[in-house]
Structure 1
């Protein structure tokens, strides 16, 4: 959501269009009914960007019936309806003012709503682990390593019955060999142990419901017993307002992950990249993945020898590493 909204702020500025406060996706796997103002501080968003573009809280009545250009910018119309950006705006070669506008939207304008900000204030030394081992994640990627036959079958059925997932048949072994699978809880425990973290380390689990529950989580808990969750940091009463709103609880995970002493994702997904980029923006706070630890470095461009649109897929995401455009004080090469 955050990166897609930041993209559309940039697009609206480029085409000199008025941006209507986005409507959030209510048809995803989580079927969350949260509105923009449930997730973000709407007044702050509009005020922060008022010098960059016009923002309307809702589409004016007189424009509701005019023709719309949907999804693609292939024709002109009174209203452009972008169903989903999915942070597809170019990573590189955009004007500096546009790149900085994207960062201004993402890191300043998109402040979470007060209830999320207040509950997300956690004052303890800890490591935030983005443990991507939820049912939908494993089903979508086709990663069944370490699961029982019954669990693998359940995930396959879920993938086959999810209409908007285009790939139905996936070879789990090939996915794992290709590096497309998240680390299992057991593998994460071994990884943290190898990095030298002691068993007493406090680890916040930034994730939805872990597939298989304690059956799989116990292998991580055996090595690191001090695991904490939203449910252990907040009271039932405090979490009551977030019940059945997966986007809002994910926002809590995002906020806590950004502010943690160390952030470690078990899989490189949209949220992991966004958190890593945000932490870089805030002073290159330590983010550890198997091949790097979040130090300052310039964003990687496309792989050599690849031409056309395919080269964009090989670039490092702008939102994963907004250096150098948005981190002016860094002296990194």
Structure 2
């Protein structure tokens, strides 16, 4: 069997892997309630962290409440986005999960605990003490509650089993997602481009390159008015030169052409509303006219049921991105990391991650007239991205010199690259 075939066989084995131990979870009268925070993919990975935590502390997990207060203001419940019965069933050998607290505990006093970010198994041994005085512990945030590294292998595999097998989207989302993938594939191979050129991302990062003065002011005001965004005064030039800004639609076009993609390439835009609309997207379309979005692929009637539910719409983008021939994120973030990890798990499907800092330097040379679009630029860009296309590799460790909590924060996310715990690697992909 080829190395790729062996890899896929191993993935299938892992997905169907039996519960964390032969005995399964011990019946427990400890209950854990959770409020998941953030957008769709921050909530998804947070929920799977909570599944692993429930296993570590031997608690019954109540189906998490989803974030309705974030930027997206989505009122969707768990069962609106996910297949709740399938979720409970898929993990029944690992963790007890219930839809609601037993009636006898509905009004019982609850301990409220913010679990420390990036914690290991020993931390949760101490956390068990919370249930000595309370039958219910409430967790106000679910994101990044577990370490990326150093956890027992079965706990790591449980996190994968949760994210890639158990936490399926609801039937309406899955059904439309599959239809849109089929419609795209009928046109040929396609790129899913996670184009993070949206108002909230530009405001949050303080990235205003190429925008008008009034647009830059609009983004600054939005940032200042968003109370939970801590950083208010941002130097846009430093952000851009440091590679911290999403590529503009024009830059994405130059990048893809330099990488050898032709004008006939089909590109699916996996994103919300692009800031500036056609004013900026037209520059990408001039390179690649075959740009499509869900609004183009789906009928109005098909999309109507998802109207005003940003997380459900984002789930459609997620499904299409995972199934694309190539996935390209214009900026890092929860969606980009989750899709890359999922594609790695499915056999290291091609994910092309732009080197934003390096590209900004090259684009600067173009602006100065010291470089032109053509063979020279193409050679530099392709060489720069030779090892940035999703080939098998172990997770990156923390940045050199980082210490304490910062060290943990700079590690590559487990969900971005679940190798080696969840993927067996033999030979080259």
Alignment TM class, shorter chain as reference: over 0.9
Tell me whether 1:221 sits opposite 2:285 in the alignment: yes
Tell me whether 1:317 sits opposite 2:317 in the alignment: no
In structure 1, runs of 5+ residues without a counterpart are: none
Paired residue for 1:80, among 125, 137, 147?
Answer: 137
Distance in 1 between the 2:226 and 2:206 partners? 13
Tell me whether 1:37 sits opposite 2:103 in the alignment: no
Structure 2 residue aligned with 1:326: 422
1:310 deviates by 1.9
Q: Once the two structures are superposed, what CA deviation does each residue of 1:8-64 show, in whole Å capped at 9, x if it has no partner?
A: 100110011111111110011111111111111111100000000100101223223
**1:295-310 equivalence runs, <5 A:** 295-310=391-406
Distance in 1 between the 2:262 and 2:90 partners? 43
1:139 deviates by 0.7
Single out whichever of 269-278 and 86-95 deviates more from structure 2: 86-95
Structure 2 residue aligned with 1:149: 213
SS state of the match for residue 222, structure 1? Answer: helix
Paired residue for 2:294, among 227, 230, 237?
Answer: 230
CA contact (8 A) 2:114 2:141 kept: no
Structure 2 residue aligned with 1:189: 253
TM-score normalised according to structure 1 size? 0.97
Paired residue for 2:109, among 55, 67, 72?
Answer: 67
Distance in 2 between the 1:177 and 1:85 partners? 33
CA contact (8 A) 1:134 1:209 kept: yes
SS state of the match for residue 192, structure 1? Answer: helix
CA contact (8 A) 2:392 2:425 kept: no
Structure 2 residue aligned with 1:111: 168
Structural RMSD (CA)? 1.5
Distance in 2 between the 1:332 and 1:306 partners? 32
Q: Once the two structures are superposed, what CA deviation does each residue of 1:57-76 show, in whole Å capped at 9, x if it has no partner?
A: 01223223333232424671
Paired residue for 1:275, among 324, 335, 339?
Answer: 339
Distance in 2 between the 1:32 and 1:295 partners? 36
Distance in 2 between the 1:142 and 1:109 partners? 37
Distance in 2 between the 1:199 and 1:332 partners? 31
SS state of the match for residue 69, structure 1? Answer: strand
In structure 2, runs of 5+ residues without a counterpart are: 1-42, 116-126, 355-384
Paired residue for 1:50, among 83, 87, 92?
Answer: 92
Single out whichever of 299-308 and 216-225 deviates more from structure 2: 299-308
Tell me whether 1:98 sits opposite 2:125 in the alignment: no
Distance in 2 between the 1:317 and 1:265 partners? 16
Structure 1 residue aligned with 2:63: 21
Paired residue for 1:208, among 260, 267, 272?
Answer: 272
Q: Once the two structures are superposed, what CA deviation does each residue of 1:85-135 show, in whole Å capped at 9, x if it has no partner?
A: 223421000000000000000000011111111111112121000000111
1:277 deviates by 0.2
Which has the larger helix fraction?
2
Distance in 2 between the 1:87 and 1:240 partners? 33
Query: What number of residue pairs does the alignment pair up?
Result: 333
